[in-house]
Amino acid sequence: MSHSLDDHERDLMASVEAGEWTSVNELSSARREAQALARNTLRKDTRMNIRISSRDLAALRARALAEGLPYQALVTSILHKYLSGALAEKK
C-alpha cells in the first residue's frame, strides 16, 4: 500500500536527506535531559487568576470543546506557545 506524504513529512524527509540530522552520542543521557525539560515545561506550580469577558470565555470554552480539552488546558497551551515563540500574532 502506497502512502503519500503530507507537507510536514516531505519537509522532514528533505531535512534528513540534506544531512541536517545527527546521531546523539549519549542517548540515555540525552533522553533523561529531554524528559526533565518536558517535566519542567508541563509542571503547573503557580495559580493565576484573570478577569476575562464572558464572550471571550464562551469562545474559549467552545474552542476547547472542539479540541477535546478542558478550557484551562487550552489557555495554558496558548500562553506557552505564545511565550515560546510557536504562536505569533497575524500581521
Ordered DSSP codes for the chain? ------HHHHHHHHHHHTT-----SSHHHHHHHHHHHHHHHH-----------HHHHHHHHHHHHHHTS-HHHHHHHHHHHHHTTSS----
pTM: 0.52
Average pLDDT on 51-67 reads: 95
Cβ distance 70 to 64 under 8 Å?
yes
Task: State which amino acid sits at residue 47.
Answer: R
In sequence order, the 6+-apart residues with CB closer than 8 A to the CB of 67 are: 74
Digit-coded pLDDT (tens) for 14-46: 999 999 988 888 888 888 888 888 887 777 778
